[in-house]
Amino acid sequence: MGATSKQEKLIFSQRRLRLNPHVRELVRQVHLASTQMIQPLFVGEAVRERESIPGLTGTYRESADSLLRQVEQDLELGGVTKFLLFGVPQSKSHAQFDVSFTAGQIESLKKRFGDSIFLSVDTCFCSYSTHGHCGVLTEDHRHVSNEATVTELARAALIYAQAGADCIAPSDMMDGRIGAIRGALDANGYSDRLVMSYAAKFHSRFYGPFRLAADSAPKENASHLKDRATYQIDPACPSDALASSLRDAAEGADILMVKPGLPYLDVISRLTQDIDKPWAVYEVSGEFASIELMAAQGLIDGPRAHVEAWTAFARAGAEMVITYGARYAREWLKI
Ligand code: PBG
């Protein structure tokens, strides 16, 4: 078939660029690679047989044994090499949080897989505390104490570094924690460990499935704080996200993060332009689950929808994506 008849002008200016897969590949401005993805891992001290998590297809609350098997499989089958670990201890406390279970998991992962994996560790206390808040409460239980929490975070970060963590990722949202963590790492010979700050972490409803997985929801009647609104960023206040990110960059964070992703694309776009640092986006549990639940109902093509969301993050300027789909990324990006 040659040119279409003169009378029938099928293709106008822009549509020539969408004409076939070759042209579409050539004009693409955003290129995603599975090497940019970080896979979250949950490991629970009380877990005997690994448990699935509602909405998070393919992600489990692992036992200490199944965690090692899962990471082995991720390396072999999925080509996944970057992870974000969440430890969920059995016994919770009020103040001096016991992070030894998580430290033990870091040790066994690094002993088994060494430098073939890059292991980031979420550093926060909502899974470790009796009340489910992200730090130490003040005596009157009206606030999360900034100073006491930062001291605990720096202590935990050092223990994780000693256990072999490559990257410390504080998600608590206290002020000044990046400087305190960087200082503790540097003073003890761990200046080679990275700090990835949950810098622009919003007070979001999209963390629902995660809180089941991490046993980390604020417990009713355990404090005067009914939610995390006094420490996480208000969804209607993007300038707070900018100020918090500038602060964390100045305190020495190596990587900054926006979380959640899709509802905050404006924030990702603005911050990546304004602050010249590597940026991560967390496609959080509720975002991931929304796509999975729609796909389960036959309403959308799940893998293609995830790739579309990841493309939006890269388009907005992010270098890396933390997603429950990292272990499928290599497969999905080929579709
Ligand atoms: C812990 C933490 C949360 C997430 C990551 N670290 C939950 C929260 O702040 O309540 C959410 C991750 C997700 O929803 O996938 N502070």
Would you give per-residue pLDDT tens digits along the chain (335 residues)? 455 556 677 777 889 999 999 999 999 999 999 999 999 999 999 999 999 999 999 999 999 999 999 999 999 998 999 999 999 999 999 889 999 999 999 999 999 999 999 999 999 999 999 999 999 999 999 999 999 999 999 999 999 999 999 999 999 999 999 999 999 999 999 999 999 999 999 999 999 999 988 989 999 888 889 899 999 999 999 999 999 999 999 999 999 999 999 999 999 999 999 999 999 999 999 999 999 999 999 999 999 999 999 999 999 999 999 999 999 999 999 98
> What are the φ and ψ backbone dihedral angles of 298, each rounded to 5 degrees?
75, 20
Q: Atom 8 in ligand 1: which residue has the minimum CA distance?
A: 207
- The first and second tokens of residue 100, run together, are 């030894």
- The first and second tokens of residue 249, run together, are 């960059």
pLDDT at 78: 87
**298: alpha, beta or left, given left = phi > 0 and alpha = psi -120 to 50?**
left
Give the integer Cα–Cα distance in Å for 173 and 160. Answer: 19
Pocket of ligand 1 (CB under 6 A): 122, 124, 126, 134, 171, 207, 210-211, 216, 284-285
Residue with tokens 């935990």: 156
pLDDT at 220: 82
pLDDT at 12: 75
**Cα of 207 to ligand 1 centre, how many Å?**
6
Q: What Å distances lie between residue 34 and 10, 80, 184, CA to CA?
A: 37, 8, 33
Which residue from 207, 227, 283, 288 has its CB within 8 A of the most atoms of ligand 1, so it is best to mutate? 207
Q: Atom 1 in ligand 1: which residue has the minimum CA distance?
A: 171
pLDDT at 224: 87
Give the integer Cα–Cα distance in Å for 88 and 46. Answer: 8
Residues catalogued as catalytic: 201, 259
Q: Atom 14 in ligand 1: which residue has the minimum CA distance?
A: 207
Nearest atom in ligand 1 to 127's CA: 1
